[in-house]
Amino acid sequence: MHGKSTERMRKVGPYGVETLPQVCAAGSGPAGLAAGSGPAALAAHRGPAASIDVPAAPAVCRGALTERARLHWSLGDGGDPAALAEEFLAAHGLPLHDLTRPSTGQHGTGVCGAALYLSAAAGALLAGAPTGAPEPAPALPDLAVVVYQHGPTPVARPGPPPPWWLGEWVESWTPGQHAAAVDAVRAAIGRGDVYQSNLVGHAAASYTGDPLPALSRLGALPGARYGGVLTGDGWAIGCASPETLVEVTDGQVITRPIKGTRPATATGRAELLASAKERAEHIMIVDLERNDLARIARTGTVTVDELFAVRRWCDLWQAESTVRAAAADGLGLADLLRATCPGGSVTGAPKLAALTQISALEPVGRGASMGALGWVAPGHVDLGLTIRTAAADGQRLHTWAGGGITWDSDAHAEVAEAAAKTTPIRATLAGR
């Protein structure tokens, strides 16, 4: 069993993973502001003055959590990240080997729960697919598990934050290259290789100052169901995702795929509801998610509670469905991750064929995007799919955006849709 911790953790714990009780993490907001820039600013968000703003963490507990143990893992470490996460959590007081057991719902003293982040590349590994092109932000781990306990309320750091400057965004592919990739997917659909593939582009911008306040602002965007941040030494992730990858409560498993986008105007909503292309794209993914849940569900329990409901995120309308199932007896976290990662709405159908095509077409890895990020506790899992997500390393901010490609896709329209999805993220990071 292999795993890595940050250099701040000294005591060797189970499975060779280093842990250090009473260490805080995940800085956000005024309590997390620190002097310095780049790596120094990110490192300063680990310590007694850091506040916790993990996506999907219990609202009553945020601001009263301290870090108890941490695990980092990368593809090069080898092994099974799903099994490693489940075993690490169990070793630190969070057994998740049977999610059919009722949630305790207790938030008193002691261990509360844990943040769990799994990259798109790690999800592809679990699915038995290629893990994609080289990552543009290699400082980010492919798995991070951070266990939290209740502790004293953090104290705000004195002094103003350093000035914030964000440079120009540099795309990893040109609009022409993106359009050519769309055409390549359409050709593959014509050959019968896939029914749909999701293409994702990346951009990066240099910065000076502390990136944590900028990343934290993402969580306040309208519709950010999984708003929040997670940090480590030399990296940070800010999430504004509206999409539920998988949620488990009292043995009920739910996923809420989102496919289909239009401007948030009355005309845009009518166009989305009337679009045969968007509805077909959406229903393909609902069928894929039904199949994913069927792998871990009691026979005959998979249902679609809601189909193609139109909801708003920032200045966009998006179509969302709700798929539900009763968990099979003995379902644990590791099997849940293997069945649902990476999310079907950001891969395509069939999933393995789409992942193989994505790996060949996308110029860089998906980094923090299109993975899983959220909260786990006994009897409860709530992971968002990391769309509308940005990441920081010591030098640059990174964003990703894309969309599902079907036979009816127009290459130029797909390029424009990806730009529309990332515009609110970039504006928020810049402070506009």
Which residues are the active-site residues?
A: 243, 259
DSSP-derived secondary structure for 397-416: EEEEEEEEE-TT--HHHHHH
Is 351 in a helix, a strand, or coil? helix
Q: Give me the residue label for tokens 């820039």.
A: 37
Which amino acid is present at 3? G
Half-sphere exposure of 403 (CA within 13 A, CB side): 28
Rounded to an integer, what distance in angstroms lies between the CA atom of residue 297 and that of residue 255? 13
Q: Residues with Cβ < 8 Å from 191, sequence gap 6 or more?
A: none
Residues 6+ apart with CB under 8 A from 198: 345, 346, 347, 348, 354, 358, 370, 402, 403, 404, 405
Question: For residue 234, is it left (φ>0), alpha (ψ between -120 and 50) or beta?
Answer: left
Distance, in Å, from the CA atom of 298 to the CA atom of 300, rounded to the nearest integer, reads 6
Distance of CA 307 to the CA centre of its chain: 23
The whole-angstrom separation of Cα 369 and Cα 376 is: 19
Alpha helices in 229-373 (DSSP H): 266-274, 276-294, 333-340, 351-361
CB of 93 closer than 8 Å to CB of 131: no
Nearest to 197 by CA among 173, 181, 175: 181
Q: Give the span between the Cα atoms of 421 and 240, in whole angstroms.
A: 11
Beta strands in 173-315 (DSSP E): 196-208, 226-232, 235-241, 244-249, 252-256, 258-263, 303-313
CA 240 to CA 223: how far, in whole Å? 8
